[in-house]
Amino acid sequence: MPSGKDAYYFPHDSNAQHDEKILKLRVKYGWAGYGLYWAIIEKLREASNYRLDSQDIACLSLGVSHPIDDLIAFLKDCYLWELLTESNGCFFSESLCRRMVEIDKRRKQLSDAGKQGNKIRWKSNRKAIAKQSQSNRSKVKKSKVKKNIYQSDNDFLSALKTNEAYKHIQIDMELAKMDAWLLAHPGRQKTKRFVVGWLNKIEKPLMLQQSKGRLP
């Protein structure tokens, strides 16, 4: 059964009062009968499958505030004029059902489109989140590699400090200089090749060179 704001909507032709069948109703029942007819249509619109039980006229009588005997006679005339149809213990309006089929079809199409749109957005968001997560992991991994390249290769550092070619160099101080230089050059990395190249460019102190050039 429809609920909420949607429960009160159904198409209604603005010239319905001039319909041939409606004119027959108005001739016999006047404008009061016209109003009663649309009150019944509204009840049908609210009902499940847009049908009401033909044997439960008492509830309809209470709902439209109309005497039950008069209402039964009114319904029989509506069946006669084909304004309403009685079948399988229920009565309904063929015109209302036909119009509501189209409305329900459009409503379902909009609902399906909305669900599909949500599904696409959710899938897109999941991909974006996964991509961002992967990017973050990659950044963390690269950061750890840069940070731990020498902490995880103590043999390399020890080899530098004991190498005769670098005995005149304070390795730890030069490593600190490298870090400062790399901060200003983010495109470079502190690789072993970079470190060796840096150290090789450091000239020996003049006094050390002269002492090595003297004869014993």
Radius of gyration of the chain measured on its C-alpha atoms: 45
Alpha carbons 48 and 45: distance in angstroms, whole number: 8
pTM score: 0.47
Task: Check residue 22 and give its pLDDT.
Answer: 93
Res 215 pLDDT > 50: no
Task: Check residue 9 and give its pLDDT.
Answer: 60
- CA dihedral in degrees (78, 80, 82, 84; nearest 10)? 40
Task: Check residue 147 and give its pLDDT.
Answer: 52
Q: Give the rounded percent of residues in the chain with a pLDDT score beyond 70.
A: 81
Average pLDDT over residues 109-117: 80
- For the domain covering 4-99, report its CATH number: 1.10.10
Q: What does the domain layout of the chain look like in residue ranges?
A: 4-99, 149-213
Task: Check residue 94 and give its pLDDT.
Answer: 92
